[in-house]
A = this chain, B = another copy of it.
């Protein structure tokens, strides 16, 4: 996998980040101290607005979030982040939670839901799991992003040919379908292989699958 984009590990001062959102300064401080004691980087926020106004870290991270927050609730923030495409794993804390609240949070993808007071070790375990999950997610996203960039370097014709080729059609079938000569299809196909940086059809098919290329039947017609 070449890497025309994405984060390198050059100056990785800290491997992972824990984002803490709580309106109680003393809780922020104690969590900050807890996470730093195990070598984790922290970012502290007193409100959802502060978090949303800031820059998201470009390394594995997770969010430790109080359910009860000034303005919106932690659960609302969870939905807001999801809609914005910010997919850091979330660990909830609450002093006055109930079962429906915890179930809702877990359904929405939270990693854990801890009732205050919780044991430090429980929080650390949850954060460890969350950071592992995020590292996994980042790796997958980076791979897919590389492929997406390659795909975007294709011209419209090349994408069309790629779709049909990865669907298993022969060059002459592709030619017939989109009204070209077979030799032209071969040229496009060669360009696709070069731009997608694959040397076998098998790898091209896998990259197409990763992109979710379905080649919807009959959407192209003429033009």
Let me know if B168 and A202 touch, CB within 8 A: yes
Let me know if B199 and A202 touch, CB within 8 A: no
Quote the shortest CB–CB distance from A9 to chain B (angstroms). Answer: 20
Identical subunits present: 2
- State which of B107, B113, B203 has its C-beta within 8 Å of the C-beta of A99: B113
Q: A167 to B199, alpha carbons, bound, how many Å? A: 11
Q: A166 to B202, alpha carbons, bound, how many Å? A: 6
Most chain B CB within 10 A, of A97, A113, A168, A201, is at: A168
Question: Which B residues are CB-close (under 8 A) to A201?
Answer: 168, 201-202, 205
Quote the shortest CB–CB distance from A140 to chain B (angstroms). Answer: 15
Interface size class of A (residues with CB under 8 A): 20 to 34
Q: A200 to B165, alpha carbons, bound, how many Å? A: 10
Binding site for B on A (CB under 8 A): 1-2, 94, 97-100, 102-103, 106-107, 112-113, 115, 165-169, 197-203, 205-206, 209, 219-223
What are 19 A-B contacts with C-beta separation under 8 Å? A1-B219, A94-B99, A97-B99, A99-B115, A100-B115, A102-B102, A102-B106, A103-B106, A103-B112, A106-B107, A165-B202, A166-B202, A167-B202, A197-B221, A198-B221, A201-B202, A201-B205, A205-B205, A205-B206
